[in-house]
Structure 1
């Protein structure tokens, strides 16, 4: 029998909000999951600019929308995998990626 991962009490490594499950390889919140999907699937190479021009913006649930560049870079650094984002029109079920708890 497969062991289930529990996500109770986990925080999103990108914005520190409550996680909703494993998305694109890591535990994230719904907001960061959606942001990452839009950034990858609608643009071949996202071209974002840093709001502070320093690349060190603080991200929280209240400020996560302020700087797309810092948020996208933090998604990549946290381990979100662009290869798991389905492209428009591409069909498929859940990614067959098994993570150890």
Structure 2
């Protein structure tokens, strides 16, 4: 089996693409250039070498060579399912997103209501090598209860409750 050579850049060809024997690189370059209607300009009088190692140096000469060896722009099909195309979200999706946004805002409000100021709580330490006593557990519960009450006081809804309900 004879290995085919790309008629544009002399790299290893992968088949006949758009009417010319070419490699995947030149096939993709030609397709993108035509689809995006690129208008390349050569800086060196349209006489650049288009080889495997130099094919990216001048896009104008590369595209011209693609056309010269027989690539046809009308052989390029329309994009089917291009990556990056955005579809407009359906109504159901929009409702879900709105619900998520509302939930996130509520979570942020709750997070901001948490008091990180523990100034009213006395910190205490027990030695690392002894077990907690009933008194230690009581102090810990008291500390947690004080923090809970301080947090509840920061909620607007809590302060609107009657003293009995608080």
TM-score range, shorter chain: 0.7 to 0.9
Write the mapping of 1:58-77 to structure 2, written as runs, cut at 5 A.
58-77=49-68
Q: Any idea what SS the aligned residue of 1:75 has?
A: helix
For 1:89 and 1:39, the matched residues in 2 are separated by 17
Question: Counterpart of 1:48?
Answer: 40
* 2:20 is aligned with 1:26: yes
Equivalent residues of 1:14, 1:71 under 8 A apart: yes
The 3-state SS of whatever aligns with 1:72 is helix
2:73 is aligned with 1:82: yes
Higher relative contact order, chain-length normalized (CA < 8 Å, sep 6+) = 1
Higher helix share: 2
TM-score under structure 1 normalisation?
Answer: 0.73
Question: Structure 2: where are the runs of 5+ without partners?
Answer: 82-166
What do you get for the CA RMSD once the two structures are aligned? 1.6
Equivalent-residue separation in structure 2 for 1:9 and 1:89 (angstroms): 31
Return structure 1 stretches of 4+ with deviation > 2 angstroms: 87-90
**Larger radius of gyration between Structure 1 and Structure 2:** 2
Q: Deviations over 1:33-77 (max 9, x none)?
A: 00000001122xx3101132x100001111100101100010000
Aligned length: 81
